[in-house]
Amino acid sequence: MPMKKLLTSAAFIAFGASAAMAQTVGFSQIGSESGWRAAETTLTKQQAEERGIDLKFSDAQQKQENQIAAIRSFIAQGVDAILLAPVVATGWDSVLEEAKEAEIPVVLLDRQVDSDKSLYLTAVGSDLVHEGEVAGQWLVDAVDGAECRVVELQGTTGSSPAIDRKTGFEKGIAGADNIEIVRSQTGDFTRAQGKEVMESFLQAEGGGADICALYAHNDDMAVGAIQAIKEAGLKPGEDILIVSIDAVPDIFQAMAAGEANATVELTPNMAGPAFDALKAYMADGTEPAKFIQTESKLYTQDDDPAGEYERRKDLGY
């Protein structure tokens, strides 16, 4: 009888851990829409290499069907575990059930799914609502009671960060009647769409004269929007306040130049905690918490943005 069948933890048996550490791990990545995601990919590969794990990497090019196909292929190859950064929150039940049936533990990275928690081992990520709330509270303090019309660049429609960061920001500004979100549209987490959508916001809002602040669900969209604001003849960071999420090197460069005001950090090292959890689980069935939370730190222009840029610029962003 295989060792895994002798273990007593129900979940351990359910996911079929069979070795002291996963030797082969499949990683279904969303794509490369942002600097943050490029860094997550780089760090995951590095972390795997340091631990002697054979990482099978699949880039889904933003398509859920490609992620589902990749997971099925990982299952067919008999990998020891699967890392999944899910592009959207819904539609994962069947393929997660297939992984569970095959006794392969799945760890979610950076985004959540709406499936039953029993279908994955754990999720590593930030409190996405809290991130938005921190951004909203920063704006409340920054405008200090002045009237403020906000435009919002949302992330990928249907993704958990787009849903939760919107909810969180609204929560953060809830008590401030002086702040109003006047326009909100998706920029799909990309720099190009951030710029394009910001151009349309500027056009619709008196060339930008009627906009007090931009809230972007990630830094890349903010960087694209900064370009659009400059091309419209305005000063980002002064005429229009900019607050976003991720803390990638480029936003620190913009902050150092006075062209962005605040960002909330999301660590790209989701794989480290994920591999640690898998190692413990595979060694003796240690159940990780269902959610392994990473930190969400606020950075403003007062937090040495030039130094932060230097510290981060070679980290794979």
Nearer to ligand AHR, 37 or 312 (CB): 37
- Binding test (CB under 6 A) with ligand AHR, winner from 29, 34, 115, 296: 34
Count of residues interacting with ligand AHR (CB under 6 A): 13
Nearer to ligand AHR, 75 or 122 (CB): 122
Q: Identify which of 134, 144, 143 has the alpha carbon closest to the alpha carbon of residue 168.
A: 134
Helix 249-256, helix 305-312: angle, nearest 10? 150
Nearer to ligand AHR, 37 or 183 (CB): 37
Tell whether residue 266 is a contact of ligand AHR (CB under 6 A).
Answer: yes
CA dist 145 and 173 (Å) reads 11
- Binding test (CB under 6 A) with ligand AHR, winner from 12, 15, 27, 36: 36
Per-residue binding letters, 156-175, with ligand AHR (x by CB under 6 A): -----x--------------
Q: How far is the CB of 217 from ligand AHR (least distance, A)?
A: 7
Nearer to ligand AHR, 222 or 228 (CB): 222
Q: How far is the CB of 29 from ligand AHR (least distance, A)?
A: 10
Q: What are phi and psi of 261, to 5 degrees?
A: -110, -40
In whole angstroms, how far apart are CA 211 and each of 41, 202, 224, 255, 295?
35, 8, 16, 19, 31
Q: How far is the CB of 37 from ligand AHR (least distance, A)?
A: 4
Residues whose CB falls within 8 Å of the CB of residue 237, separated by 6 or more in sequence, listed in order: 226, 254, 255, 257, 258, 259, 260, 261, 301
Residue 252, both tokens: 């620190």
CA dist 127 and 43 (Å) reads 20
Q: Identify which of 185, 223, 224 has the alpha carbon closest to the alpha carbon of residue 204.
A: 185
Tell whether residue 246 is a contact of ligand AHR (CB under 6 A).
Answer: yes
Which segment (4-12, 33-41, 97-105, 137-145) binds ligand AHR by CB under 6 A?
Answer: 33-41
Q: Classify each residue of 145-165 as buried b or exposed e, where b means 16 or more C-beta atoms within 10 Å of its C-beta.
A: eeebebbbbbbbeebbbbbbb
Tell whether residue 265 is a contact of ligand AHR (CB under 6 A).
Answer: no
Residues 80-119 contacting ligand AHR, CB under 6 A: 110-111
Q: How far is the CB of 184 from ligand AHR (least distance, A)?
A: 17
Nearer to ligand AHR, 154 or 261 (CB): 154
Residues 186-225 contacting ligand AHR, CB under 6 A: 189, 218, 220
Q: How far is the CB of 158 from ligand AHR (least distance, A)?
A: 12
Contact yes or no for 220/36 (Cβ under 8 A)? yes
Contact yes or no for 183/214 (Cβ under 8 A)? no
Contact yes or no for 233/3 (Cβ under 8 A)? no
Q: How far is the CB of 218 from ligand AHR (least distance, A)?
A: 4
What is the rounded radius of gyration, in angstroms, for the C-alpha atoms of the chain?
21
Q: How far is the CB of 291 from ligand AHR (least distance, A)?
A: 15
- Binding test (CB under 6 A) with ligand AHR, winner from 83, 245, 270, 277: 245
| Interacting residue ranges for ligand AHR, rule: CB under 6 A | 33-34, 36-37, 110-111, 161, 189, 218, 220, 245-246, 266
